[in-house]
């Protein structure tokens, strides 16, 4: 990672942050110019700081402000296949359904160039993956977080990719998660309908924000324990970290979640090795087959660490 630092001059006061980065890097002979759109992306990704605090692209600068820009190491513009075992739930000539393990990143990103699901899919499927997602994301229609396990569908051709993407957009592709939550909601079920966007004070996190994108999560309690519960969360939309943000916002973060407060409790303190990441599993996936029109539904069991956690919760 490369760090750039600039001090805002009096004549630059009132300049938008993304424009400032573009102008300064264009005049900086020691780094490559950063376009305004790329600067906006760096802001959204939590890589730009004003006075030490993460700042958004629309921030208006004042004379004397210190602007720091993190330039992440570049992601390779080509992806090499890797012989990584895959848990294939279903496969045909149009698509493949995978049970992704916790700890695996879906596509390459700064700091995660190798060991991704994309690289494993390239090895398994060869050239038969859709190219709509770009060189670094072959076949990828939707994602699940690195430390979330469960079902994910990838497309083997552009026809399948377009159809599956449309189903996600129209909410006809149903994705349901199992989750262990901190606390016990008063009600047995409910819906969180609150917009999600980048956290204004921590750009590496998401949050419920007024000007965020529409986000709807339906939840219901399956089993209750002393201070915790097992729940089912169904996505109507698919925003980044949606279930984690929504459940934390209503006071019941996903157990073990280090970003949204789910790791600050007696269970995680007593079982630090087991509670290494959020207990969240994409256990159900339903969609219409792009070619046949058949409605398809898949399920996969919770991983061993989640089953063990629930066993321990039951003994509290």
Q: If you search the block for the tokens 């029109």, which residue do you land on? A: 293
Residue 145 is among the residues annotated as catalytic for this protein: yes
Alpha carbon distance 190, 225 (integer Å): 19
* 3-class SS of residue 40: helix
Decide if 48 contacts 68 (C-beta within 8 A).
Answer: yes
Instruction: List Cβ neighbours of 228 (8 Å cut-off, separation of 6 or more).
Output: 180, 181, 182, 183, 184, 255, 267, 313, 316
User: Per residue, what are the HEC states of 129-191?
Assistant: CCCCCCCCCCCECCCCCCCCEEEEEEECCHHHHHHHHHHHHCCCCEEEEEEEEECCCCCCEEE
Q: Which of 18, 65, 94, 145 is catalytic?
A: 145
Please list the active-site residues: 145
């Amino acid at each position: 990672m490369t760090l750039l630092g600039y001090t805002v001059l009096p004549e630059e006061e009132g300049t938008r942050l993304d424009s400032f980065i573009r102008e300064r890097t264009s005049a900086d002979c020691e780094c490559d110019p950063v376009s305004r759109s790329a600067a906006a992306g760096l802001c959204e990704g939590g890589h730009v700081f004003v006075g030490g605090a993460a700042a958004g692209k629309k921030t208006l600068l004042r004379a004397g402000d210190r602007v720091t820009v993190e330039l992440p190491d570049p992601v390779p513009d080509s992806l090499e296949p890797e012989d990584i075992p895959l848990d294939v739930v279903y496969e045909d000539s149009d698509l493949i359904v995978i049970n992704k393990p916790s700890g695996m990143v879906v596509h390459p990103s700064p700091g995660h160039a190798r060991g991704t699901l994309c690289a494993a899919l390239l090895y398994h499927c060869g050239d038969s993956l859709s190219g709509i997602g770009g060189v670094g994301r072959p076949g990828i229609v939707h994602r699940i977080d690195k430390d979330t396990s469960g079902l994910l569908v990838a497309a083997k051709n552009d026809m399948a990719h377009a159809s599956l993407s449309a189903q996600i957009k129209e909410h006809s592709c149903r994705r349901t998660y199992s989750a262990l939550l901190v606390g016990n909601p008063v009600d047995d079920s409910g819906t969180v309908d609150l917009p999600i966007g980048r956290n204004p004070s921590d750009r590496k996190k998401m949050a419920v924000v007024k000007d965020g994108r529409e986000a709807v999560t339906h939840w219901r309690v399956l089993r209750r324990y002393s201070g915790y519960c097992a729940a089912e969360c169904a996505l109507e939309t698919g925003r980044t970290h949606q279930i984690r943000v929504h459940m934390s916002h209503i006071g019941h973060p996903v157990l073990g979640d280090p970003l949204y407060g789910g790791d600050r409790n007696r269970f995680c303190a007593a079982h630090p090795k087991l509670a290494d990441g959020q207990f969240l599993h994409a256990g159900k996936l339903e969609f219409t087959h792009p070619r046949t029109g058949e409605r398809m539904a898949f399920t996969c069991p919770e991983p061993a660490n989640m089953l063990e956690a629930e066993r321990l919760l039951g003994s509290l």
